Structure 1
Amino acid sequence: MNRRTALFSTMMLGGLIGRAARGQDRRSSGFRPAQEMVDEPGLDPDLLGIGTDPLAPEIGRRGGSDPAEDLPFTPPSQIKQQGLGWGIFNIAPYTALPHSRDTAKPETALIEWVFRHTGSDIWHGEDLAVLSATSKQLRAFHREEVIAKVNEVYKRFVDAWFDVLTLRVRIVAAVDPRWRLDVFSRLEPVRLGTQGRGGPQAQQAWLVEPSTTEQLMATMSLSQAFRLVEERKEPIVNGQTLSLRTGLKDPITYRGGLDRSNTVQIGFEPTVDAIEEGVELRASPLLRDDGTSVDLAVDLRATVVKRKHLTRVIVPRQIGPAEMDLDVPEVAHSRLNQTIPKWPLDKTLLISAGILPGIFMNKGGPLNLGFGGPSQTELLVVLDLQSNLESARRRRDRR
């Protein structure tokens, strides 16, 4: 038998033998699609979350959204042993709210808050886990106790007392940290998380009565040692994120490296790099069940260039001196990134980002970056939340 005859016989044989005989039936591998497992006699459909859900009526399903269609191949014994199941949540009422133009996908906020509430590790461990969201549904596949936590977050979005909150942000640069002198006893400290190797945060936070806040801000406005850098009052849908950035109009430039210029063949020339100096704030408040307080996810970053240190380097050049001047920027940076729980709506949240020498102030010296500028400048962020009564009326009318 020549090679051509053998090849033709093999092709004919492959077309006549069934798929099961060739070892391509998925049932022979031990893994079953979820829909096939549901049809298997003796297997409880509720094990896959298909059927009456214990979390109803908060959980709703829509036509054509059978979760079994999205379940990867998994042995039934593994599902039974781990107690895995589906939770399907109707979030269409929330995504239909009047979100800002910058919010392209409001459903993303639910995913972020589920991670904050449950931790992200359990979604990337040994258990089979699914967490996804569309504009109409939040879908989760996990153990029963994890689905219950997802349900808690879901209700805080869809059943909130207010749909819209108003966040007032004031950013203050204080040259003198002694503003604490006569108000410190009236500040209620907020416990922040740890930093680095278990040490305390360099930042501080307090809850303040609104009357004390206004007294403090009035005192600051009369002193040249304080500067109100930014004040903004923005509506924000419950659970979404307000982003704010303020800083110098132009970045701080410095000569940070060398580049060989091939156009004029004169050797290396200094490159001009830049550092953006300023404050970036991301704040996401999520109402708690009682409607009187929120959990605030805050990400506060502040960067300031204290000065530029001059140094000299030797480089090969065909034209000009062999020594060139470069700058080494001295930068101070502060970041607070965590969730502050149970912030009452009737109190101000005051955050100190720590000492950032000369931030938003005249640093003095040549090019406004030399010696002699303020060395104790403290960055303060003052936050106030107000409920939107109109959104509360809309919520009450829907019920």
Structure 2
Amino acid sequence: MMGERNVAFCFATLLLVGCGNALAQQPGGWQSAATSRYSNESATAAPLPATTQPAATATTPAANTAPAAAPATTAPIAPIVGPPPTRARVTKGSGTLPRDHGQVWREYDIRPYTARAQSSTKPEQAVVDWILRETGYEAWHSEPLGILSAGRDTLRVYHTPEMQAMVADIVDRFVNQQSESEAFSLRVATVTNPNWRSKALPLMTPIPVQSPGVQGWIMAKENVAVLLSDLTRRTDYREYNSPTQLVGNGQSIVISTMRPRGYIKGVMPTPQIWPGFQPEQGQLQEGFSLEFSPLMALDKATCDAVIKLKLHQVEKMVPVKLDIQTPVAEQQRMEVEVPQVTMANLHERFRWPTDQVLLLSMGVIGTPGPTRDNALTAALPILKTAPRADALLFIEAKGSVLPPAAPNAPVSTAGRNPAQFHGRY
């Protein structure tokens, strides 16, 4: 009896060893899964060593007694591993800046400008922005290699001599002490009826404008005084800022009337609280935002300005009623609002003589500020519509009106070249 038990025990041991070897040879067995997880090889098991082949062959008859699908049902699912991601090849390089196109290193002293721009936390950024507008952004991100870096005291540039001449012209316009007290005035206004053009047309000279729907003119300062005198007598004329507000040469200003307007934009489920939902609040910004950045030429005969204007107006809120069913309360109704918005945008660069005034018209668009309802529209809301008006912008170089700044470092004497204009900005 003891001999029969030993024989049965040996036979069971051989059967288990054979099943383990057969499972290891299956594509997707435990050896295959481990190999594909920790290496980037395919999930196919490698052949077993030659010493293990006889044992597997000897146990084949015993393995055939078990169902063929049994090993597959107990084996874990091997993940599908694809090729590894391709990474960039990085080298230390030669350790020196390339000079394939004759690039040179220059450092510009911008303290005469930054010392008087006390109201700005980073006045050197204005210098960088104007250089990028003048030279183009792609000139610093393609061949030949270029470097543009600015601190509060020094502007560092690595580029070709031709590009250095353009940079020097921009820097000289900032540090020029003769124009440090120059200032510009802005006047933002609207006229409900655009028929003001009929009388003002002989006083204006049109200029090209690339932004759709926007018109531009230049006018003599005495003609502007005549036009403003006529406009201020109209009942539909309105101004949105103080005409005495001044912007220094090379400085930037943002005039904004943006104000938040809340509305119900959707529904949020609250299963724990009756009635099972609550309104989702939304918010829009309504009004206008004007960013103005002027820069006078070195000879003060012309001036450049970058103007960015955004105008948002909510015409009305379209109501929509929603049928809501929740586990807490059924057949609930709630009204949400869908905003109907009008927007106008202007982002362009202009150049005009300093002895004239630049006038821009955005066309008949939504008014940048709230308007008063008359008695008829207040009594009959169905007659109420979103207000429209012709938006006007007057820009004038006022001359040396700012107090002089304290003496600063000497003005840069870098080479100059005639100013060029690349693109819209």
Q: TM-score, normalised by structure 2?
A: 0.67
Residues 68-147 of structure 1 mapped to structure 2, 5 A cutoff: 74=97, 78-79=98-99, 81-97=100-116, 99-101=117-119, 103-147=120-164
Which structure has more relative contact order (CA 8 Å, sep 6+)? It is: 2
**C-alpha separation in 1, matches of 2:190 and 2:102:** 54
Q: In the alignment, what sits opposite 1:221? A: 232
1:130-173 Cα shifts (integer Å, max 9, x gaps)? 10111111111112211121111111112253103333222212
The answer on 1:332 being equivalent to 2:332 is no
The answer on 1:243 being equivalent to 2:254 is yes
Judged with a 3 Å threshold, the aligned counterparts in structure 2 of structure 1 residues 236 and 154 are, in CA distance, closer, same or farther, namely: same
Counterpart of 1:261, as a letter, is T
Residues 286-325 of structure 1 mapped to structure 2, 5 A cutoff: 286-317=295-326, 318-319=328-329, 321-325=331-335
Judged with a 3 Å threshold, the aligned counterparts in structure 2 of structure 1 residues 366 and 306 are, in CA distance, closer, same or farther, namely: farther
Q: In the alignment, what sits opposite 1:353? A: 362
Unaligned runs of 5+ in 2: 1-90, 412-425
**C-alpha separation in 2, matches of 1:277 and 1:368:** 24
The answer on 1:378 being equivalent to 2:408 is no
State the Cα distance separating 1:82 from its structure 2 match.
Answer: 2.1
**C-alpha separation in 2, matches of 1:363 and 1:305:** 16
CA RMSD of aligned residues (A): 2.9
**C-alpha separation in 2, matches of 1:393 and 1:269:** 58
Q: Identity across aligned pairs (percent)?
A: 23
**C-alpha separation in 2, matches of 1:278 and 1:386:** 28
Q: TM-score, normalised by structure 1?
A: 0.71
Of 107-116 and 222-231, deviating more is 222-231
Q: In the alignment, what sits opposite 2:166? A: 149
State the Cα distance separating 1:83 from its structure 2 match.
Answer: 1.6
Counterpart of 1:218, as a letter, is S
Contact 2:288 2:312 (8 Å CA) reproduced: yes
1:105-146 Cα shifts (integer Å, max 9, x gaps)? 111111000001000011111332210111111111112211
Unaligned runs of 5+ in 1: 1-28, 35-73, 196-200
State the Cα distance separating 1:265 from its structure 2 match.
Answer: 4.0
Counterpart of 1:296, as a letter, is A
State the number of aligned residues.
Answer: 317
Judged with a 3 Å threshold, the aligned counterparts in structure 2 of structure 1 residues 367 and 146 are, in CA distance, closer, same or farther, namely: farther
**C-alpha separation in 2, matches of 1:85 and 1:369:** 69
**C-alpha separation in 1, matches of 2:381 and 2:408:** 56
Give the SS at the match of 2:179: coil
Larger Rg: 2
Give the SS at the match of 2:122: coil
**C-alpha separation in 1, matches of 2:366 and 2:93:** 62
Give the SS at the match of 1:277: strand
Counterpart of 1:104, as a letter, is T
**C-alpha separation in 2, matches of 1:149 and 1:368:** 61
